[in-house]
Structure 1
Amino acid sequence: MSDIPYKDKGSILGPLKTLGFFARKPVTEPFEPRPAADSYRGFHVNDWEKCIGCSTCQKVCDNAAITMVKIPGLREDPVLGVRNERPAIDYGRCCWCGLCVDICPTGSISLTTEYVHVCRENELDSYFVLPDPNGIHGKHFDKGWDKTADADLVDLQQQSMGEIEPQQRDDNFDEIVHGFTSQQAIIEASRCVQCGMCHDSCPTHMHAPEYIRAIWEGNAEEAVRQIYRSNPFSHVCGRVCTRRCETACSIGRRGDPVAIRWLKRYAMDAVSDERIREIAAEGKVDYVSGKKIAIIGAGPAGLTAAYDLVKKGHDVTVFEALNKPGGMTRYGIPEYRLPYDRLDADVEVITSLGVTIRYNTRIG
C-alpha cells in the first residue's frame, strides 16, 4: 500500500467548512421506542423460581458479561442441586447473542423486547443488572428470544443402557448391565454443561465434571486420573453408587440427568487394571514417614482410609475378621450387580501401593 500515491493534499481552509454546520438544525430522532420483533434480543429476565444458580450461563458467555451473585435468603441445597446465586448481567459487555438463553438447563432466562435504558453520568453502575421476572425497570415487556426446541443447546435424552435379556440370565449371575460403548460414552459426556452440581452433592466430592470432560475428549486415562483424586473404589461406584450426583444434575430439571455413574464405569472398564494401578500410584510420596497405622475392617471406609494414608508414606495394616476384603460391597451386593473381579481390582489397587491386609483377624 505504501507505493500508492496520495493525491488529495487537502486545503488549509478545509477546517473552515465545518462552520457551515453551525447554521443547521440538529437532526433528532423522537424518543419513542419502536415495536420490537417477536424474537428480539433485548434485556434479560430471569425466573428465580426456576433458576438453580448453576452458573452455566456464566460459563458459556464469551464476553465475561455474567457474574454469579450470592443472594442472602435464597435456598441453598447441594443435595438437590440448588445454589443461592443468581446471574447478574454487565450490559457494558453483553452482546445479546442469546447463548445464555439457549444453554440454560432450566429455561429460566429469557431476553425481552425491552431495549431502552438511559442513565446519567453518576448512574453508570446501572448497566450492571441483576435480572428478575420483572425486568430491569420493573415494567412488563413481552419475551423476545426465549428457549425453543430449535435453539436449545441442551441434549435432554440420556443414552440407553443395554442389558442382558431376562431369559438369558435366569440360570447365572452374569452382570446384567452391558455398559456404554465408546461412542455412547462420548455422546453422553457431551450432554454435561460442567456446572459442578454433581461435585457439590457427592458425599466424596468426586471430580465428576473433570472426568466427564476427559471422556468427551476421548481420554479415558485422564478420566481415571480424575476419578482417583477422591475415590479408590471406582469400579464399585461405577456400578452400584446411589447417584446423588444425578439427582442434583442440572440437565435433569427438564430431561434425563447425565448418566454420571455409567460414565465412571465406562472410564474404569476402558483402561487396563495394570494401567489403573500405575495411575493410582501417581502422587504417592517417595519417602517413608516412619509411622505405623492399624485400621480395623477391610470394608470401603477402612480401605479408602488405607489408600489415602499409604500415599502419604505411612505403613498401613488393615485387620479383617473375614477371609476376603470388601465388607458389605462383597457380602451385601449380588454378583450380577457388582462382579467380584471388579471389586477385587479395586482392592488390588490399594494393596499394590503397599497396604497390608491381615485376614481372619478379629480385633475387639
Structure 2
Amino acid sequence: MSDIRPKYKGSLLRPMKALSFLFREPATLPMEPREASEVYRGFHLNDWEKCIGCGTCGEICDNFAIRMVEIPDLPSDPAKGVKARRPAIDYGRCCWCALCVDICPTGSLSMSREYIHVSRDLDSYLILPDEAGMHGENFLKGWAKSETSDLLDLARQAMGELEPEARSDNFDEVTKGFDAQSALLEASRCIQCGMCHEACPAHMHAPEYIRAIWDGDMERAVEEIYRTNPFPQVCGRICTHRCESACSIGRRGDPVAIRWLKRFAMDQVEPQKVQEIALKNKVSKPTGKKVAVIGAGPAGLTAAFDLAKLGHSVCVYEARPEPGGMMRYGIPEYRLPYDRLDADI
C-alpha cells in the first residue's frame, strides 16, 4: 500500500519562519453579508407567549447547550402545564442541529437567518432567545418545525367502546381498554417532560410508568404507580386526569392518554403480583401502635394503607355494608366495575 503521508524536510530553523509574519499588517477583507436560505439554521428565536417552560428542548440536546432559567416575572400555573422558565442557549456548545426546534411541543422555538456574532466577551454567547433574535434586529425566521421535521405524534390512539346495542341491557364496562399494540404506540407519544407530574393532585410519577410501559416492563410500571396511589384500578378508569390537561403534547394535538395507560399497566399484572408490589416498602417490624380510621372511603382507605405500611395496626370503621365510599355507591358499575374496585381495596 502506498504511503500517502506528506514528506517534510526537517529543519531546526523552520519554526523561525513564523517570526517573519509577526510585524506584517493583517489582510482584512470587508464583510459582505449574504442572505441566508429560507430554512437556514441560525441563532434561535423563541416566542415567549407560546413557550410553557417544559424543558423538552434541553432534554433532547446532546451537547448540553440548553439550560432552563427561572424567570420570576413570568406567570406560572403547574395545573395548566405552564412553568415560569425559559431556555437559555450556549452557543459555545450548540451545533445548530435544530432537534430542539423539531421536538418543541408548542412550536415556540425556531431558528433565524442570522448567523454572525463576533465578540471577545464569552458571556455574550449565552442568551435567552426571544422573537427579536440574537441582536434584537428581527432577522427573518429560518428553520421552523414542519410536518416532515416534527418529531411528535399528535394523534391519540382510539379507545374502544362497547357498541350501544351491546350495553343496552347490562352494566358491563363501556370502555374496553388498550390492547398491547395501542398501549405501546400511545406510550411512545410521551416526551417525558414531567408537566403531568406537577398537575396531578397526587403527584403521580406518570412519565416513569409510561416509560416502563414503553419498555415492556409492566411490573415496574405498577411499582411506579404504587409509589403515590393505592387506587390505580380506580384512577385508571374514573380519574379526572388533570395530568392530561397539563400535557405539553396537548398544546398542538391530543394529550397523551395517561389515565388509560395506567389502566393498561394494572390490567397486565396478576393480582397476586400486584399485592406483592403494593406492600414492597412495608416495614418489617410492627411499631405496636394502633390507629382507628373512621370511614372506608378513598381518603380513609388511603390513610389506612399508608399507616399499615409504616408498621402500625390499623382498624377501619365503616357504616355501610361494603367499603369504598363514593367509589362504590356513587359511581355506576359500567364506569367502575366492582371487581376492579375490590381489587384495589
State the TM bucket, normalised to the shorter chain. Answer: over 0.9
Where 1:28 maps in the other structure, the secondary structure is coil
For the Cα contact (< 8 Å) 2:131–2:138, is it kept in 1? no
Where 1:318 maps in the other structure, the secondary structure is strand
The equivalent residue for 1:98 is: 98
> Per-residue deviation at 1:6?
10
Q: Deviations over 1:305-362 (max 9, x none)?
A: 1111111101111000011111001011111110000000000xxxxxxxxxxxxxxx
The equivalent residue for 1:331 is: 329
1:256-335 equivalence runs, <5 A? 256-335=254-333
1:84 matched to 2:80? The reply is no
The equivalent residue for 2:56 is: 56
> Per-residue deviation at 1:230?
0.3
Code of the aligned partner of 1:322: R
Q: Deviations over 1:117-152 (max 9, x none)?
A: 1223xx221111001111121111111110101000
Code of the aligned partner of 2:301: L
> Per-residue deviation at 1:156?
0.2
Where 1:125 maps in the other structure, the secondary structure is helix
> Per-residue deviation at 1:4?
12
Instruction: Tell me the distance in 1 between the aligned counterparts of 2:15 and 2:78.
Output: 67
For the Cα contact (< 8 Å) 2:218–2:268, is it kept in 1? yes
State the aligned residue count.
Answer: 344
The equivalent residue for 1:74 is: 74
Q: 1:144 aligns with which of 139, 142, 145?
A: 142
5+ residue gaps in structure 2? none
Higher deviation after alignment, 24-33 or 76-85: 24-33
1:1-364 equivalence runs, <5 A? 8=8, 10-18=10-18, 21=21, 26-120=26-120, 123-347=121-345
> Per-residue deviation at 1:31?
2.1
> Per-residue deviation at 1:33?
2.3
Q: What TM-score do the two structures reach when normalised by structure 2? A: 0.96
Instruction: Tell me the distance in 2 between the aligned counterparts of 1:245 and 1:272.
Output: 27
Q: Deviations over 1:36-83 (max 9, x none)?
A: 111111101100000000111111111111111111121111111100
Does the C-alpha gap of structure 1 residues 8 and 96 become closer, same or farther in structure 2, counting only changes over 3 Å? closer
Code of the aligned partner of 1:330: R
Where 1:45 maps in the other structure, the secondary structure is strand
Q: Deviations over 1:91-128 (max 9, x none)?
A: 111111100000000000001000111223xx221111
Q: What TM-score do the two structures reach when normalised by structure 1? A: 0.91
> Per-residue deviation at 1:17?
4.2
Instruction: Tell me the distance in 1 between the aligned counterparts of 2:44 and 2:186.
Output: 30
Q: Deviations over 1:190-222 (max 9, x none)?
A: 101111111000010000010011011111110
Does the C-alpha gap of structure 1 residues 285 and 15 become closer, same or farther in structure 2, counting only changes over 3 Å? same
- What is the percent sequence identity of the aligned residues? 66
Where 2:256 maps in the other structure, the secondary structure is coil
Does the C-alpha gap of structure 1 residues 43 and 4 become closer, same or farther in structure 2, counting only changes over 3 Å? closer
Where 1:317 maps in the other structure, the secondary structure is strand
The equivalent residue for 1:351 is: none
Instruction: Tell me the distance in 2 between the aligned counterparts of 1:214 and 1:313.
Output: 29
Higher deviation after alignment, 190-199 or 22-31: 22-31
The equivalent residue for 1:360 is: none
Instruction: Tell me the distance in 2 between the aligned counterparts of 1:188 and 1:4.
Output: 54
> Per-residue deviation at 1:20?
5.7
For the Cα contact (< 8 Å) 2:195–2:248, is it kept in 1? yes
> Per-residue deviation at 1:12?
3.0
Instruction: Tell me the distance in 1 between the aligned counterparts of 2:243 and 2:7.
Output: 71
Code of the aligned partner of 1:61: C
